[in-house]
């Protein structure tokens, strides 16, 4: 969901002083940087969860390919 189409809510966060000082001195929008970091952290966690939830299927498929090869491999041109 993009920031322009979602409802926004103010929140308080605690940051190390040296990071906040440097961010301000460089003209960085701290709220935007925190939001981008949170988006990246959420994506990483979703990926980890998906891999965990599907690890049995992934392992099973890998074993199938090791045993039987890739489907349609005979038609590969490379």
Would you state the pLDDT for residue 78? 83
Q: What is the mean pLDDT of residues 58-76?
A: 95
Question: pLDDT tens for residues 31-65?
Answer: 999 999 999 999 999 999 999 999 999 999 999 99
Q: What is the mean pLDDT of residues 5-32?
A: 95
pLDDT at 1 over 60: no
Q: How many of the other CB atoms lie within 10 Å of CB of 28?
A: 13
27: left (phi over 0), alpha (psi -120 to 50) or beta: left
pTM of the model: 0.73
Mean pLDDT of the chain: 94
């Amino acid at each position: 969901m993009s920031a322009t189409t979602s409802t926004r809510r103010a929140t308080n966060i605690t940051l190390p002083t040296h990071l906040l000082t440097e961010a301000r001195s460089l003209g960085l929008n701290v709220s935007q940087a925190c939001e981008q970091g949170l988006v990246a952290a959420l994506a990483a966690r979703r990926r980890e969860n998906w891999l965990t939830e599907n690890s049995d299927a992934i392992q099973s498929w890998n074993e199938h390919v090791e045993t039987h090869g890739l489907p349609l491999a005979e038609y590969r041109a490379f």
